[in-house]
Amino acid sequence: MKLCILEADRPAEAFRPAHGTYAGMFERWLAPALPEATFDNLFVAGGETLPGDPDLYDAYLVTGSRAGVYEDHAWIAPLEAFLRELRARNRPVAGVCFGHQVMAQAFGGTVEKSAAGWMLGRQEHMLSPEGAEVFGPDPLTALSFHQDQITALPPGAARLLSNDPSPNGGLVYTGFPALSVQFHPEFQPGYIHDLLLAYQGERVPMDRAQSALATLDGALDNDRVARGFAEFFRRNV
């Protein structure tokens, strides 16, 4: 299985020596659950060209980003058009955070800045019946770092999981193979810790950052989410 990671951003240079790139984080997270896959990556936010032939890869995964999907960046509209082409060709695609949001926008949903503000740190999510089929029925814990939300679901999307501040925290689509989550299963607590320390009092309110830092020692379900993503790719490739 050939899987291409579409990088919608890369960490700031100060974070890369300790944490690497988003493509590296995704491969380290997903490869143990999907050992039959080989991974490639394209830095689409950095100007690398999307595949002229979507069938070049068996499946795709869209990363997070500091950008908002509603912002005027030259690379977002071509990415949305590419996602619609993947849908037309029935090519499997998954997304995380920005990837979750840009898929929803490309397929007809609405993304906005949340009235609840930043959602940060370790969060618990409740599974819908559709989510239980993908990840199992128990509540799921994962790391979040976002302030945008899907506020209107695209046609054909079903909710996988939710909590009060993030009601559309995961989606699965009917009619074509697409799956996405708002949280970051590829992140480790150390990366969130460093982001919060760097951004507290500037991009992120100090009280929100301090509350989130206090959550980072808890257990996470990253491996469980990886198994769900792996089975999604395996079933649809």
| pLDDT, tens digit, 9 for 90 and up, residues 55-65 | 999 999 999 99
Q: Quick check: 181 and 225 in contact, CB under 8 A?
A: yes
Note the pLDDT of residue 171.
Answer: 98
Which residues are paired to 111 by β-bridges?
150
Task: Give the DSSP letter string of the chain.
Answer: -EEEEE-S----GGGHHHH--HHHHHHHHHGGG-TT-EEEEE-GGGTPPPPSSGGGSSEEEE---SS-TTS--TTHHHHHHHHHHHHHHT--EEEETHHHHHHHHHTT-EEEE-TT--EEEEEEEEEPHHHHHHH-SS-EEEEEEE-EEEEEPPTTEEEEEE-SS-TT-EEEESSS-EEEESSBTT--HHHHHHHHHHHBTTTB-HHHHHHHHTTTTS---HHHHHHHHHHHHHHH-
pLDDT in tens, 77-102: 999 999 999 999 999 999 999 999 99
pLDDT band (50, 70, 90) for residue 133: very high
pLDDT band (50, 70, 90) for residue 115: confident
Cα torsion through 188, 91, 106, 116, rounded to 10: -30
pLDDT band (50, 70, 90) for residue 134: very high
For residue 175, give both structure tokens: 């009619």
Note the pLDDT of residue 110.
Answer: 98
Residue 15, pLDDT > 90, answer: yes
Q: Which residues contact 147 (CB under 8 A, 6 or more apart)?
A: 113, 114, 117, 118, 119
What residue has token string 């037309």?
88
Note the pLDDT of residue 26.
Answer: 98
Residue 37, pLDDT > 90, answer: yes
Which carries the bigger pLDDT value, residue 164 or residue 236? 236
pLDDT in tens, 146-194: 999 999 999 999 999 999 889 999 999 999 999 999 999 999 999 999 9
3 state SS for 95-127 = EECHHHHHHHHHCCCEEEECCCCCEEEEEEEEE
Does CATH place domain 2-188+221-236 in 3.40.50.880? yes
Note the pLDDT of residue 116.
Answer: 84
Residue 209, pLDDT > 90, answer: yes
Q: Quick check: 65 and 45 in contact, CB under 8 A?
A: yes
CA 100 to chain centre: 5
Q: Quick check: 58 and 36 in contact, CB under 8 A?
A: no
Pairwise CA distance, residues 126 & 140, whole Å? 7
Note the pLDDT of residue 121.
Answer: 96
Note the pLDDT of residue 165.
Answer: 87
